[in-house]
């Protein structure tokens, strides 16, 4: 099962990877994850177990050239899972060290009223109106005079205010004469400085922006000669730009392109601006593909992008694209049509596909989002219909990933194209089952007679046992759907199997609800004086404190305040307690195991307890009272035994601070072993005829 990767923890996997065609064409469901937002995270803080979480998927997208740490994490993930489809997220915009001739500018034109000199903190222009068009305040607002990049920190009337530091790159760095033109580059939050993909962009040192950008990504570092990555990925890929609020001036004549190239902004977008830009963006993509093949002819050299919603063009060049947030930027039916077109294109070119739906739980659902199983099934069954990888994450910037029972199932491969049923449900058959999805915006019924005549069973799972009850599918099932507004139609889906199927993913009870406690469960219950901690990080993975946590920096976003690693407390008399209480959805035997890192930045920062007192309560009765040693066995699952657990929340592990050192409350795992195992009580047979070799 896919979760078995978690067993290897810090050990090197030595198995050989699958053949390329099999590895790039995994069975269904296909799981993937988008690089977790980690502002100020690793290597400033310990990576915790983020590497283990990323390696459990079929495909993982991580920062490659956008961070110098991409090589380190890439090698680590390739070590943990040789078969992983590993994609490097790379730059897709320009930065202020790149030639300003390549920038896309607003239609703003300011003229200096006086000569200015290096280090000048204020200077006057004939008009500052429009220099920050379309932005809030002056964030991401810059000026360019004669290729001198200037940070526009504020505007006072017709005076530009910038840094007065003569050594600051973003201050006035050269002398400029009265009358010189001040331009305003389009610097956006996602892509950086927008390139001017157009026929008006000049060459610099014999190169145009499309060649320059491709070479910057693939030649200015060794990312593509490492043999680590299978493809590259451009985030915030603006194939369609709708920047009417900010203005645009591709031909640098001071006239807003939305006015110059069409009678209305909509007409300009539809008939001129975007088609023109895409013509030159294709040259960029072609150059990247050429360089990838030259540098690493033995790699798959896949290319994909994040265009937010659908992507109508580039089907002759790319392997697919990502939907950022399921239905966040496009409705279900547009997604359907887009996916089917990309599926046909990839099949016609004989390419592996990396179409990907990255679903997400918004911050407003912080307290219950990961347990909205209907939302997950809606996205997952959509992905199954249309040959997409699928993942679920928390937060608008995809901070934390979630793992569900359905991810551990095996449907094999699709046996037919997806079809629409008379009531608007969509279904697709697979070797070992069927996926049914409800995009209609109202509840619908699926009946056995609607399917292909095979006998089907519902999944038997632990996270949502009422839905995944394992029963034979011999009566109609209602699949949820509801319309909140024209732009907010919610649904559900169901996966059925041709054989009885049980999937109970590991139940992890960790320190926080989202980071990193399993769906359907709540974090550790704390009593007494516990504090939360993180530790410093290191590019050497063995030097990172291996606490169980997939996002270990102290980031706080809205109500989200869970980006910490673990809890710890000083020794005492037992007044501090920590209780890990799972929600058991399928009764059976479970291995109970504890995980801890060390306390502090290094293993010798503090002295942990060697005699942490713990109690195991099984089905409401105390079964075991003992101690474990937190001065050793860091970063691994330490088994406390196998027990038969009934459904519900009557079983738990509890520790106290009655110990001889610092006590750590980190993660506890409840791993389903089956319903009828016989515990191994027989000691091993002593070996015979041993020979000691000196």
Residue 298: predicted pLDDT = 93
**Cα dihedral 288/278/34/141 (nearest 10):** 100
Burial 356-377 (b: 16+ CB within 10 A, else e): bbbbbbebeebeebbbbbbbbb
Tell me how many degrees the CA angle 58-60-65 measures, rounded to the nearest 5.
150
How does the average pLDDT of the chain come out, rounded?
A: 91
pLDDT beyond 90 at 116: yes
Task: Say how far apart CA 342 and CA 338 lie, in whole Å.
Answer: 6
Contacts for 306-312: CB closer than 8 Å, 24+ residues apart? 306/233, 306/234, 306/235, 306/236, 306/237, 307/237, 307/238, 307/239, 307/240, 309/334, 309/335, 310/334, 310/335, 310/337, 310/338, 311/237, 311/239, 311/338, 311/342, 312/338
Confidence of residue 677 (pLDDT cuts 50, 70, 90): confident
Question: Which of the given ranges, 229-243, 296-310, 544-558, has the highest pLDDT on average?
Answer: 296-310
User: Does a cis peptide bond (omega within 30 degrees of 0) precede residue 516?
Assistant: yes
DSSP-derived secondary structure letter, 102? G
Between 226-230, 401-405, 550-554, the lowest mean confidence (pLDDT) is in 550-554
Q: What is the mean pLDDT of residues 114-134?
A: 96
Percent of the chain's residues with pLDDT above 90:
78
Task: Say how far apart CA 438 and CA 478 lie, in whole Å.
Answer: 10
Going by C-alpha positions, the residue among 573, 590, 574, 570 that lies closest to residue 582 is 590
Tokens 């199983």 — which residue? Answer: 373
Task: Say how far apart CA 151 and CA 122 lie, in whole Å.
Answer: 11
| CA pseudo-torsion sign 313, 324, 285, 189 | positive
Which H or E run includes 621? strand 621-628
DSSP-derived secondary structure letter, 677? -
Domains and CATH numbers, the chain: 507-674 (2.60.120.260)
Chain centroid to CA 51: how far?
12
Confidence of residue 139 (pLDDT cuts 50, 70, 90): confident
The residue with greater pLDDT, 454 or 261, is 454
Going by C-alpha positions, the residue among 446, 439, 473 that lies closest to residue 459 is 473
pLDDT tens string 175-231: 999 999 999 999 987 788 999 999 999 999 999 999 999 999 999 877 888 889 999
Confidence of residue 430 (pLDDT cuts 50, 70, 90): very high
**Burial class of residue 103 (count of CB atoms within 10 Å of its CB; 0-12, 13-18, 19+):** buried
The three state secondary structure string of 322-368 is EEECCCCCCCHHHHHHHHHHHHHHHHHHCCCCCCEEEEEECHHHCCC
Pairing of strands 231-234, 302-306: parallel
Q: What is the pTM of this model?
A: 0.92
H-only helix segments in 358-492: 373-385
């Amino acid at each position: 099962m896919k979760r078995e990767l978690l067993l290897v923890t810090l050990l090197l996997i030595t198995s050989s990877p699958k053949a390329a065609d099999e590895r790039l064409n995994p069975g269904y469901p296909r799981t993937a994850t988008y690089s977790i937002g980690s502002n100020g995270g690793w290597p400033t803080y310990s990576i915790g177990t983020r590497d283990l979480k990323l390696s459990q998927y079929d495909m993982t997208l991580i920062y490659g050239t956008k961070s110098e740490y991409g090589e380190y994490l890439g090698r680590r993930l390739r070590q943990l899972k040789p078969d992983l489809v590993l994609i490097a997220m790379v730059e897709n915009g320009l930065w202020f060290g790149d030639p300003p001739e390549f920038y896309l500018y607003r239609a703003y034109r300011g003229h200096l009223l006086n000569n200015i000199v290096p280090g000048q903190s204020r200077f006057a222009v004939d008009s500052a109106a429009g220099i920050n068009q379309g932005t809030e305040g002056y964030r991401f607002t810059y000026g360019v005079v004669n290729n001198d990049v200037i940070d526009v920190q504020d505007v006072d009337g017709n005076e530009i205010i910038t840094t007065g530091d003569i050594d600051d790159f973003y201050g006035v760095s050269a002398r400029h004469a009265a009358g010189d033109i001040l331009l305003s580059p389009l610097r956006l939050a996602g892509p950086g400085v927008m390139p001017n993909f157009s026929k008006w962009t000049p060459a610099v040192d014999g190169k145009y922006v499309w060649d320059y950008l491709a070479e910057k990504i693939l030649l200015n570092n060794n990312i593509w000669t490492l043999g680590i990555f299978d493809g590259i990925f451009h985030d915030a890929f603006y194939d369609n730009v709708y920047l009417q609020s900010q203005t645009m001036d591709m031909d640098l004549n001071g006239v807003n392109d939305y006015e110059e190239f069409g009678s209305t902004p909509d007409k300009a977008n539809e008939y001129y601006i975007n088609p023109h830009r895409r013509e030159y963006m294709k040259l960029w993509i072609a150059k990247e593909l050429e360089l990838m093949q030259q540098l690493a002819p033995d790699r798959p050299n896949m290319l994909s992008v994040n265009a937010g919603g659908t992507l109508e063009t580039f089907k002759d060049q790319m392997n697919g694209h990502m939907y950022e947030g399921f239905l966040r930027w496009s409705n279900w039916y547009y997604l359907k049509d887009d996916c089917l077109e990309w599926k046909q294109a990839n099949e016609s070119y004989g390419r592996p596909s990396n179409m990907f739906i990255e679903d997400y739980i918004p911050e407003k659902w912080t307290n219950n989002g990961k347990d909205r199983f209907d939302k997950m099934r809606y996205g997952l069954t959509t992905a199954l219909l249309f040959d997409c990888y699928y993942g679920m994450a928390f937060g608008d910037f995809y901070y934390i990933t979630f793992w569900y029972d359905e991810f551990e199932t095996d449907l094999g491969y699709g046996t037919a194209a997806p079809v629409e049923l008379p009531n608007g449900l969509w279904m697709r058959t697979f070797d070992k089952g069927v996926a049914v999805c409800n995009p209609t915006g109202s509840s619908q019924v699926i009946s056995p007679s609607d399917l292909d005549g095979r006998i089907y069973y519902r999944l038997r799972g632990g996270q949502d046992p009422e839905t995944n009850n394992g029963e034979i599918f011999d009566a109609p099932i209602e699949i949820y759907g509801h319309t909140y507004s024209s732009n907010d139609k919610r649904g559900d889906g169901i996966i059925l199997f041709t054989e009885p199927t049980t999937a109970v993913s590991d139940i992890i009870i960790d320190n926080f609800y989202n980071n990193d406690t399993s769906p359907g469960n709540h974090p550790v219950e704390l009593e007494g004086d516990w504090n939360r901690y993180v530790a410093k990080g290191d590019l050497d993975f063995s030097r990172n404190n291996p606490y169980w946590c997939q996002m270990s920096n102290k980031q706080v976003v809205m109500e989200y305040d869970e980006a910490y690693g673990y809890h710890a407390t000083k020794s005492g008399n037992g007044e501090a307690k920590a209780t890990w209480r799972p929600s058991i959805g399928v009764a059976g035997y479970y291995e109970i195991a504890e995980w801890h890192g060390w306390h502090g930045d290094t293993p010798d920062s503090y002295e942990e307890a060697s005699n942490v007192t713990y109690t195991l309560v099984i089905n409401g009765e105390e079964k075991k009272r003992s101690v474990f040693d937190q001065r050793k066995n860091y970063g691994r699952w330490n088994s406390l035994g196998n027990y038969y657990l009934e459904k519900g929340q009557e079983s738990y592990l509890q520790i106290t601070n009655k110990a001889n050192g610092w006590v750590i409350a980190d993660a506890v795992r409840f791993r389903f072993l089956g319903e009828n195992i016989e515990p191994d009580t027989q000691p091993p047979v002593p070996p015979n005829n041993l020979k000691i070799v000196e």
